[in-house]
Amino acid sequence: MLLKNLLNLVLFAGLLLIPTVLGFGLTESGNSFIVDTEGGLIFTVDKTNGDITSMKFNGIEAQDSGSKKSHIASGIGATCSWVRTGNSNNYIKITCTAGTLTHYIVARYKDPAIHMATYISAEPSVGELRFIARLSKSTLPNGYAVSSISGGTAIEGSDVFKVGSQTRSKFYSSRQFIDDQVHGVTGSGIGVYMVIPGTGYESSSGGPFMRDINNQGGDQQELYFYMNSGHTQTESYRMGLHGPYALWFTTGAAPSASIDTAFWAGLSVTGFIPQASRGRVTGKASGIPSNFASLQVVGFSNSAAQYWVRTDSSGSFTSPYMKPGTYTMTLYKVELAVASQSVTVSAGGVTTSNIASKEATPSVIWQIGDFDGTPRGFLNADIIETAHPSDSRMHSWGPVTYTIGQQDIGYFPMAAFKGVGPVTVRFALASGQGGARTLQIATTLAFAGGRPQVVVNGWTGPAPAAPSQPDSRGVTRGTWRGNNNLYTVNIPDGVLYTGSTVNVITINVISGSSGDLYLSPNFVFDALRLY
């Protein structure tokens, strides 16, 4: 009887151990770390290079079977180790190091996710700082239609393609950071999503309106989180911890962006700053016209971090939890910076800092578009983010002649290209509107030194200096976001006509460079006004 009871006790103890052995945990097999999250996801990491080589969700393999696996950049050749840690040992942390880069891969008990964060102390030599999940196209066929390049022919570089009658590019999958917390791809019974929660972009660069690649559907279904890239990059890269972020698996529906990241504080991760060691800024924005009240953004930036928040309809805001430090605080009217000031954030503190627009609002004779840092409303602006300028769905770029008072702004082109020709504006002035006047042309981005020089009724305005802009293709990759420039032309007395004689302003693109049509020097319009 004693022996029988002892055997039953041993059997019972063994049964208690089975969930631990067969459930949440990590098994080493050769060069592989095999992790079971006990949330339906089992994934494998190659400990010799940091590649994720398998991701099975509910038994469905999401990783592509080809030679290219999922990893930082195009692979970092890292050395990896692991530890089971955290509250009640409910976390498995894999640490992969490669020079000045450390990549963390974390499994959390019951989460169907691969949690990640990437720390850099110097700009890595591996190229673009991005995580790319190289997924099976047959398992996950449903990506972004605008970035599905299968069967296409390259028409610009190796990243813009013509597929049938439409243009496609991985760049057309991008969304502005302020609106891009969750993006993913799906298949039968499975969805894989990149989740960038809360302050996940704090160590990225470019501000709230920066956009970068999310997806490309070719032989593989590629899903990205770009941390820095050089794609129309408007500021220097930031060092430190990028993320946390997560590759989240579902049966199809998108997960919430509000995932818990507080657990990272207990994982001994370099560069992670917990909420208790952060501060916030609260205040009210004012001075922006009421028709833009729902489109106000307050941003914060310094060399270490960046943050942003939309105001409510009254202009009130509270920032995310920020790293302690002194920041440039910027008020945006849509995407146009209209005020900036300094603000200091302390650990555990809340700083009150109100901000008011300093935008000049002259009384105008005429205006084309809104001074809001975007070309929205102009010709082709509605599809430029998801199509190449050469796309058959685009209206003709010109040369365009636009007559004030006879056409709405949808006839005015969002961009001017040296290879296409000038943009012409015609208008009449009433008695008393002549004399010396000021013409302003606001732009959001330029390529190859493109900038406007005007001819007004035969009088040639000055040639502006080349603008400071990202050394990168822009409008052909689906973005208008660069460095805003305002060109002011002082038209002398005697140049403009009043009465029935029509005035003609010709806007030419000038540059010391040249190029073919849409890769010729160009710039994107924000708005124009005469006062």
The CATH superfamily assigned to 366-530 is Galactose-binding domain-like (2.60.120.260)
CA 198 to chain centre: 14
pLDDT tens readout for residues 136-164:
999 999 999 999 999 999 999 999 999 99
Distance CA 244, CA 274 (A): 12
Token pair of 117 as six digits: 């964060």
Looking at residue 321, what is its pLDDT? 98
Q: What is the average pLDDT value for the chain, to the nearest integer?
A: 94
Task: Tell which CATH architecture fits domain 26-266.
Answer: Distorted Sandwich (2.70)
Looking at residue 124, what is its pLDDT? 84
Fold of 275-356: Immunoglobulin-like (2.60.40)
pLDDT tens readout for residues 310-329:
999 999 999 999 999 999 99
Q: What are the angstrom distances between the C-alpha of 185 and each of 162, 218, 249, 462?
A: 22, 13, 10, 51
Q: What are the angstrom distances between the C-alpha of 13 and each of 4, 25, 329?
A: 14, 19, 60
Per-domain boundaries in the chain: 26-266, 275-356, 366-530
Cβ atoms of 15 and 39 within 8 Å: the answer is no
User: Would 26-266 and 275-356 be classified into the same CATH topology?
Assistant: no
Looking at residue 22, what is its pLDDT? 55
Positions of the chain with pLDDT under 70: 1-22
Looking at residue 16, what is its pLDDT? 38
